[in-house]
Protein backbone atom coordinates (compact mmCIF):
# COMPACT_ATOMS: atom_id res chain seq x y z
CA UNK A 1 0.00 0.00 0.00
CA UNK A 2 2.95 2.35 0.60
CA UNK A 3 3.56 2.52 -3.16
CA UNK A 4 0.19 4.18 -3.54
CA UNK A 5 0.84 6.55 -0.62
CA UNK A 6 -2.29 5.41 1.15
CA UNK A 7 -2.61 6.40 4.78
CA UNK A 8 -3.89 3.97 7.43
CA UNK A 9 -7.53 4.89 6.93
CA UNK A 10 -7.25 4.38 3.20
CA UNK A 11 -5.56 1.04 3.79
CA UNK A 12 -8.35 -0.12 6.07
CA UNK A 13 -10.96 0.89 3.50
CA UNK A 14 -9.04 -0.72 0.66
CA UNK A 15 -8.62 -3.99 2.57
CA UNK A 16 -12.31 -3.98 3.47
CA UNK A 17 -13.30 -3.58 -0.19
CA UNK A 18 -10.93 -6.34 -1.29
CA UNK A 19 -12.51 -8.64 1.31
CA UNK A 20 -16.00 -7.77 0.07
CA UNK A 21 -15.02 -8.43 -3.55
CA UNK A 22 -13.88 -11.94 -2.56
CA UNK A 23 -16.96 -12.86 -0.53
CA UNK A 24 -18.54 -16.06 -1.93
CA UNK A 25 -21.41 -15.72 -4.36
CA UNK A 26 -23.32 -18.47 -6.20
CA UNK A 27 -26.38 -18.61 -8.43
CA UNK A 28 -28.30 -15.36 -7.97
CA UNK A 29 -28.31 -15.50 -4.17
CA UNK A 30 -27.95 -11.97 -2.75
CA UNK A 31 -28.82 -12.95 0.81
CA UNK A 32 -25.32 -11.85 1.92
CA UNK A 33 -26.58 -8.29 1.41
CA UNK A 34 -30.34 -8.60 1.72
CA UNK A 35 -30.57 -10.41 5.05
CA UNK A 36 -28.41 -7.77 6.74
CA UNK A 37 -30.17 -4.91 4.93
CA UNK A 38 -26.89 -3.50 3.62
CA UNK A 39 -28.64 -3.01 0.30
CA UNK A 40 -32.37 -2.41 -0.09
CA UNK A 41 -34.66 -1.65 -3.02
CA UNK A 42 -37.90 0.29 -3.00
CA UNK A 43 -41.05 -1.70 -3.68
CA UNK A 44 -42.56 -2.33 -7.08
CA UNK A 45 -46.31 -2.13 -7.65
CA UNK A 46 -46.31 -5.75 -8.81
CA UNK A 47 -44.87 -8.99 -7.46
CA UNK A 48 -43.43 -11.40 -9.97
CA UNK A 49 -43.94 -14.47 -7.79
CA UNK A 50 -47.56 -13.60 -7.02
CA UNK A 51 -48.33 -13.19 -10.73
CA UNK A 52 -46.90 -16.63 -11.40
CA UNK A 53 -48.71 -18.26 -8.48
CA UNK A 54 -52.00 -16.94 -9.82
CA UNK A 55 -51.40 -18.81 -13.08
CA UNK A 56 -50.24 -22.21 -11.77
CA UNK A 57 -53.68 -23.75 -11.27
CA UNK A 58 -54.62 -26.54 -13.68
CA UNK A 59 -51.45 -26.42 -15.76
CA UNK A 60 -49.37 -29.46 -16.71
CA UNK A 61 -46.11 -27.91 -17.89
CA UNK A 62 -43.89 -24.97 -16.92
CA UNK A 63 -40.58 -23.58 -18.16
CA UNK A 64 -38.42 -21.22 -16.11
CA UNK A 65 -35.95 -19.50 -18.44
CA UNK A 66 -32.72 -18.25 -16.88
CA UNK A 67 -33.26 -19.97 -13.55
CA UNK A 68 -29.88 -18.84 -12.14
CA UNK A 69 -29.07 -21.21 -9.31
CA UNK A 70 -32.72 -22.22 -9.01
CA UNK A 71 -33.24 -20.07 -5.93
CA UNK A 72 -36.53 -18.58 -7.09
CA UNK A 73 -38.05 -21.64 -8.75
CA UNK A 74 -37.31 -23.86 -5.74
CA UNK A 75 -39.64 -21.72 -3.64
CA UNK A 76 -42.64 -21.80 -6.02
CA UNK A 77 -45.48 -24.17 -5.06
CA UNK A 78 -47.22 -26.15 -6.37
CA UNK A 79 -45.22 -26.85 -9.51
CA UNK A 80 -46.72 -28.89 -12.35
CA UNK A 81 -45.49 -32.41 -13.03
CA UNK A 82 -43.57 -31.31 -16.11
CA UNK A 83 -41.36 -28.47 -14.90
CA UNK A 84 -38.17 -27.48 -16.70
CA UNK A 85 -35.51 -24.86 -16.04
CA UNK A 86 -32.93 -23.51 -18.49
CA UNK A 87 -29.74 -21.61 -17.70
CA UNK A 88 -27.08 -20.10 -20.00
CA UNK A 89 -24.51 -18.96 -17.44
CA UNK A 90 -22.20 -21.97 -17.00
CA UNK A 91 -21.26 -21.46 -13.32
CA UNK A 92 -24.96 -21.52 -12.39
CA UNK A 93 -25.86 -24.79 -14.11
CA UNK A 94 -24.43 -27.25 -11.52
CA UNK A 95 -25.84 -25.09 -8.72
CA UNK A 96 -29.30 -25.18 -10.29
CA UNK A 97 -29.11 -28.94 -10.84
CA UNK A 98 -28.11 -29.58 -7.24
CA UNK A 99 -30.99 -27.47 -5.96
CA UNK A 100 -33.75 -28.34 -8.44
CA UNK A 101 -33.24 -31.94 -9.55
CA UNK A 102 -34.14 -33.36 -6.10
CA UNK A 103 -37.45 -31.52 -6.60
CA UNK A 104 -37.93 -33.42 -9.92
CA UNK A 105 -37.30 -30.29 -11.95
CA UNK A 106 -35.33 -30.94 -15.14
CA UNK A 107 -32.44 -28.49 -15.59
CA UNK A 108 -31.00 -27.88 -19.06
CA UNK A 109 -27.85 -25.89 -19.73
CA UNK A 110 -27.89 -23.83 -22.93
CA UNK A 111 -25.53 -21.58 -24.88
CA UNK A 112 -28.37 -19.11 -25.48
CA UNK A 113 -32.15 -18.95 -25.67
CA UNK A 114 -32.34 -18.51 -29.44
CA UNK A 115 -33.16 -22.19 -29.94
CA UNK A 116 -34.92 -24.09 -27.17
CA UNK A 117 -34.83 -27.92 -27.03
CA UNK A 118 -38.60 -28.39 -26.69
CA UNK A 119 -41.40 -29.51 -28.98
CA UNK A 120 -43.86 -27.11 -30.53
CA UNK A 121 -46.90 -26.19 -28.41
CA UNK A 122 -45.45 -27.92 -25.34
CA UNK A 123 -45.77 -25.52 -22.40
CA UNK A 124 -48.77 -24.15 -20.54
CA UNK A 125 -46.67 -21.41 -18.96
CA UNK A 126 -43.23 -19.92 -19.60
CA UNK A 127 -41.64 -17.59 -17.05
CA UNK A 128 -38.50 -15.49 -17.32
CA UNK A 129 -36.96 -13.22 -14.70
CA UNK A 130 -34.17 -10.95 -15.90
CA UNK A 131 -32.99 -13.15 -18.76
CA UNK A 132 -32.98 -12.95 -22.55
CA UNK A 133 -35.55 -14.60 -24.80
CA UNK A 134 -36.44 -14.98 -28.45
CA UNK A 135 -40.06 -14.07 -29.23
CA UNK A 136 -40.39 -16.61 -32.04
CA UNK A 137 -39.19 -19.43 -29.80
CA UNK A 138 -41.66 -18.46 -27.09
CA UNK A 139 -44.45 -18.54 -29.64
CA UNK A 140 -43.31 -21.95 -30.89
CA UNK A 141 -43.08 -23.76 -27.54
CA UNK A 142 -46.19 -22.26 -25.89
CA UNK A 143 -49.62 -23.77 -26.34
CA UNK A 144 -52.29 -21.52 -27.81
CA UNK A 145 -54.01 -19.21 -25.29
CA UNK A 146 -51.18 -19.77 -22.79
CA UNK A 147 -49.01 -17.18 -21.08
CA UNK A 148 -45.48 -15.86 -21.07
CA UNK A 149 -44.71 -13.97 -17.83
CA UNK A 150 -41.51 -11.94 -17.59
CA UNK A 151 -39.83 -9.34 -15.42
CA UNK A 152 -36.97 -7.61 -17.19
CA UNK A 153 -34.12 -5.22 -16.39
CA UNK A 154 -34.30 -2.13 -18.61
CA UNK A 155 -31.42 -0.28 -20.24
CA UNK A 156 -31.52 2.55 -17.69
CA UNK A 157 -30.79 0.21 -14.80
CA UNK A 158 -28.14 1.50 -12.35
CA UNK A 159 -26.79 4.04 -14.86
CA UNK A 160 -25.69 6.28 -11.98
CA UNK A 161 -23.18 3.63 -10.85
CA UNK A 162 -21.52 3.71 -14.26
CA UNK A 163 -21.61 7.51 -14.34
CA UNK A 164 -20.00 7.77 -10.90
CA UNK A 165 -17.31 5.14 -11.48
CA UNK A 166 -16.40 5.41 -15.15
CA UNK A 167 -14.86 8.64 -16.39
CA UNK A 168 -16.54 9.86 -19.57
CA UNK A 169 -19.18 7.15 -19.44
CA UNK A 170 -21.75 7.16 -22.26
CA UNK A 171 -24.80 4.85 -22.09
CA UNK A 172 -24.99 2.12 -24.70
CA UNK A 173 -27.36 2.73 -27.56
CA UNK A 174 -29.23 -0.57 -27.29
CA UNK A 175 -32.73 0.17 -26.01
CA UNK A 176 -34.55 -2.33 -23.83
CA UNK A 177 -37.71 -1.06 -22.18
CA UNK A 178 -41.41 -1.83 -21.83
CA UNK A 179 -42.39 -0.18 -25.08
CA UNK A 180 -39.87 -2.07 -27.19
CA UNK A 181 -40.40 -5.44 -25.49
CA UNK A 182 -44.18 -5.28 -25.69
CA UNK A 183 -44.14 -4.22 -29.36
CA UNK A 184 -41.83 -7.11 -30.28
CA UNK A 185 -44.09 -9.61 -28.52
CA UNK A 186 -47.17 -8.26 -30.29
CA UNK A 187 -45.37 -8.36 -33.64
CA UNK A 188 -44.48 -12.01 -32.98
CA UNK A 189 -48.09 -13.01 -32.34
CA UNK A 190 -48.80 -12.31 -28.67
CA UNK A 191 -51.50 -10.26 -26.99
CA UNK A 192 -50.40 -8.16 -24.02
CA UNK A 193 -52.53 -9.00 -20.99
CA UNK A 194 -50.74 -6.84 -18.42
CA UNK A 195 -47.65 -4.64 -18.36
CA UNK A 196 -45.92 -2.14 -16.08
CA UNK A 197 -42.62 -0.26 -15.89
CA UNK A 198 -40.96 1.41 -12.91
CA UNK A 199 -37.66 2.86 -11.70
CA UNK A 200 -37.27 1.81 -8.04
CA UNK A 201 -34.42 3.10 -5.87
CA UNK A 202 -31.61 0.76 -4.86
CA UNK A 203 -29.98 2.00 -1.66
CA UNK A 204 -26.50 0.97 -0.49
CA UNK A 205 -25.62 1.61 3.16
CA UNK A 206 -21.89 0.91 2.80
CA UNK A 207 -19.56 0.93 -0.19
CA UNK A 208 -18.61 -2.70 0.46
CA UNK A 209 -22.16 -3.71 -0.42
CA UNK A 210 -21.78 -1.93 -3.75
CA UNK A 211 -18.48 -3.72 -4.43
CA UNK A 212 -20.03 -7.11 -3.64
CA UNK A 213 -22.95 -6.36 -5.96
CA UNK A 214 -20.67 -5.30 -8.82
CA UNK A 215 -18.59 -8.47 -8.50
CA UNK A 216 -21.79 -10.54 -8.57
CA UNK A 217 -23.10 -8.84 -11.74
CA UNK A 218 -19.94 -8.37 -13.84
CA UNK A 219 -21.83 -7.08 -16.89
CA UNK A 220 -22.62 -3.80 -15.09
CA UNK A 221 -18.97 -2.70 -15.26
CA UNK A 222 -17.10 -5.39 -17.18
CA UNK A 223 -13.58 -4.33 -16.18
CA UNK A 224 -14.45 -3.73 -12.53
CA UNK A 225 -11.87 -4.26 -9.82
CA UNK A 226 -11.30 -2.60 -6.48
CA UNK A 227 -7.78 -1.63 -7.53
CA UNK A 228 -8.84 0.05 -10.76
CA UNK A 229 -11.80 1.93 -9.29
CA UNK A 230 -10.54 2.55 -5.78
CA UNK A 231 -10.46 6.36 -5.96
CA UNK A 232 -14.04 6.52 -7.30
CA UNK A 233 -15.20 3.99 -4.70
CA UNK A 234 -13.59 6.13 -2.01
CA UNK A 235 -15.63 9.08 -3.29
CA UNK A 236 -18.85 7.04 -2.93
CA UNK A 237 -17.69 6.00 0.53
CA UNK A 238 -17.51 9.69 1.48
CA UNK A 239 -21.04 10.25 0.12
CA UNK A 240 -22.30 7.43 2.33
CA UNK A 241 -20.47 8.83 5.37
CA UNK A 242 -22.15 12.19 4.74
CA UNK A 243 -25.69 11.07 3.81
CA UNK A 244 -25.88 7.62 5.38
CA UNK A 245 -26.54 5.92 2.02
CA UNK A 246 -25.90 5.90 -1.73
CA UNK A 247 -28.97 5.76 -4.02
CA UNK A 248 -29.29 4.70 -7.64
CA UNK A 249 -32.34 4.05 -9.77
CA UNK A 250 -33.03 0.58 -11.07
CA UNK A 251 -35.15 -0.06 -14.17
CA UNK A 252 -37.72 -2.86 -14.17
CA UNK A 253 -40.64 -3.78 -16.37
CA UNK A 254 -43.17 -6.57 -16.26
CA UNK A 255 -45.25 -8.25 -18.97
CA UNK A 256 -47.87 -10.97 -19.17
CA UNK A 257 -48.36 -11.94 -22.82
CA UNK A 258 -50.80 -14.48 -24.25
CA UNK A 259 -50.13 -16.55 -27.34
CA UNK A 260 -53.00 -15.89 -29.73
CA UNK A 261 -51.82 -17.61 -32.91
- Residue 4 pLDDT grade (very low, low, confident, very high; cuts 50, 70, 90): very low
- Tell me, rounded to whole angstroms, the distance of Cα 84 from its chain centroid: 19
**CATH of region 2-259:** 3.40.50.150
21-72 pLDDT, tens digit each: 777 766 666 766 677 788 899 999 999 999 999 999 999 999 999 999 999 9
Domain positions in the chain? 2-259
Cα distance between residue 97 and residue 9, in whole Å: 44
226-240 pLDDT, tens digit each: 899 999 999 999 999
C-alpha angle 249/41/154, rounded to 5°? Answer: 45
Burial class (CB in 10 A: 0-12, 13-18, 19+), 95: buried
127-138 pLDDT, tens digit each: 999 999 999 999
- pLDDT at residue 117 tops 50: yes
Output the pTM of the full model. Answer: 0.88
Amino acid sequence: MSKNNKNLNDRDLFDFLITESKAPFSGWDFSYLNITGRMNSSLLTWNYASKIMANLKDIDSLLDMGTGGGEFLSKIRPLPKETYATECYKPNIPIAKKRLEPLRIKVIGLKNHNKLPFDDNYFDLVINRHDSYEESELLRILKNKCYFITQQVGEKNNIKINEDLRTGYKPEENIWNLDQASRKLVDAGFKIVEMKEEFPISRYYDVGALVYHLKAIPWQIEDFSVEKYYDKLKRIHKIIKKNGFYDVNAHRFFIIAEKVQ
